[in-house]
């Protein structure tokens, strides 16, 4: 049996006789608070929300309807159950009270046993609803964490093919987040870069090169320039990544697979270019998904400042210059503009997650 003895019930009624009846009926089982008018009731409820409110309608000044309406409009109090106790017993008044958000309507004169039974039932229901919300929130957090772990594991799998890029995942994730947050104020992108999408982009970023697991080692790890034939094979990593995520997506229902949408876009389109000269499909400008355009800036910057088997790390200023030169050809101009405002942030992220002392020295000396 659930213990309701710590439940707080607020009685709001301007008639002392009614208050006395309710206190006598409920006082031994619940913690009671009393207000004799609407204004003082609102102040007390907002300051310290009770678990349930017994609310009279006809009161001087602010009536019960207005009290209920205000409580339901305030996010801090909108989930408190409200039971109307009133002499207005016709159907129209009852419908009005329920339409305002009250969960019950008891006509005066009332039976104290009936009121007590209703209070117990509504408090039990509220208890179960609160526990259900907690369970749903906990389960949601578990799913989000599971998605993050899966994404990181899959991304790390790709990075293990090239042992020199261990920090690449963390760096590109953080580049994507700060760039997305910056663009959330941009008139063109503010509807896209909402906090939920930014979180999903952050989680998806590690999968941008997942398709590299399908590229042969002699090409992926080649220390010199790739031949034309080898580059054709290297470019296939975008398609491999897209197809791998698509295969996973088809095994899930639409709601469950929603978190894979950005991962699929990023893997497939992060090598497309603004002028249409990229791969695999030669998309240009707004044909390229926003997620792919965002990832392109983050990925190229990191490739430039990082040590690879085929090149030393470039200084930060040189990397910034190359990104700037690619404005309107390789990259979305708006994203380059945002990047230029954030270049110090990018440098700090690169320093924090640098793989080699040589990379840190290059970043620190600019």
CB atoms within 10 A of CB 26: 20
* 76-85, 126-135, 151-160: range with lowest mean pLDDT: 151-160
3-class state of residue 223 by DSSP: coil
Structure token digits, residue 260: 């894979």
* 56-70, 136-150, 167-181, 321-335: range with lowest mean pLDDT: 136-150
Taking alpha carbons only, the member of 330, 157, 177, 152 closest to residue 240 is: 157
CA separation for the pair 177, 76 (Å, rounded): 30
Q: What is the pTM of this model?
A: 0.62
Q: Where are the alpha helices (DSSP H) in 186-236?
A: 195-204, 217-220, 228-235
> In the chain, what are the domains?
8-133 (3.40.50.2300), 160-365 (1.10.3210.10)
Q: Please check the confidence at residue 327 and state whether its pLDDT lies above 90.
A: yes
CA separation for the pair 278, 329 (Å, rounded): 10
pLDDT category of residue 162 using cuts at 50, 70 and 90: low
**Angle subtended at Cα 308 by Cα 305 and Cα 313, rounded to the nearest 5 degrees:** 30
The per-residue pLDDT of the chain, averaged, comes to 87
State what percent of residues in the chain have pLDDT above 90: 54
CA separation for the pair 126, 115 (Å, rounded): 16
CA separation for the pair 219, 229 (Å, rounded): 10
- State residue 2's pLDDT score: 80
pLDDT category of residue 161 using cuts at 50, 70 and 90: low
pLDDT category of residue 257 using cuts at 50, 70 and 90: low
DSSP string, 95-124: HHHHHTT-SEEEESS--HHHHHHHHHHHHH
Q: Please check the confidence at residue 358 and state whether its pLDDT lies above 80.
A: no
Q: Please check the confidence at residue 1 and state whether its pLDDT lies above 70.
A: no
């Amino acid at each position: 049996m659930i213990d309701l003895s710590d439940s707080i019930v607020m009685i709001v009624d301007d008639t002392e006789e009614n208050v006395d009846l309710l206190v006598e009926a409920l006082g031994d089982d619940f913690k009671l608070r009393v207000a004799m008018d609407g204004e003082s009731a609102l102040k007390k409820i907002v300051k310290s929300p009770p678990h349930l409110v017994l609310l009279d309608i006809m009161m001087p000044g602010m009536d019960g309807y207005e009290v209920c309406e205000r409580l339901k409009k305030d996010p801090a109090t909108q989930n408190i159950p409200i039971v109307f106790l009133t002499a207005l017993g016709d159907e129209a008044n009852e419908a009005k009270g329920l339409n305002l958000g009250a969960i019950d309507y008891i006509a005066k004169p009332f039976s104290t046993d009936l009121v007590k039974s209703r209070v117990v039932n509504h408090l039990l229901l509220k208890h179960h609803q609160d526990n259900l919300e907690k369970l749903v929130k906990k389960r949601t957090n578990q799913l989000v964490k599971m998605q993050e772990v899966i994404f990181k594991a899959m991304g790390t799998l790709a990075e293990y093919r090239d042992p020199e890029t261990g920090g690449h995942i963390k760096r590109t994730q953080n580049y994507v987040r700060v760039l997305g947050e910056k663009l959330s104020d941009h008139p063109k992108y503010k509807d896209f870069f909402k906090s939920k999408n930014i979180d999903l982009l952050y989680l998806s970023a590690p999968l941008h090169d997942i398709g590299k697991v399908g590229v042969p080692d002699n090409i992926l790890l080649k220390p010199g320039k790739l031949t034309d034939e080898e580059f054709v094979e290297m470019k296939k990593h975008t398609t491999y990544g897209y197809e791998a995520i698509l295969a996973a997506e088809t095994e899930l229902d639409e709601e469950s697979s929603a978190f894979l949408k950005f991962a699929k876009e990023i893997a497939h389109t992060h090598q497309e270019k603004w002028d249409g000269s990229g791969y695999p499909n030669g998309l240009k400008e707004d044909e390229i998904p926003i997620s792919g355009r965002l990832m392109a800036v983050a990925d190229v910057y990191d490739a430039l400042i990082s040590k690879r088997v085929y090149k030393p790390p470039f200084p930060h200023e040189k990397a910034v210059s190359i990104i700037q030169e690619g404005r309107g050809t390789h990259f979305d101009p708006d994203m380059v503009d945002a990047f230029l405002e954030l270049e110090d942030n990018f440098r700090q992220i690169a320093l924090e997650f640098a793989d080699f002392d040589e990379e840190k020295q290059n970043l620190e000396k600019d």
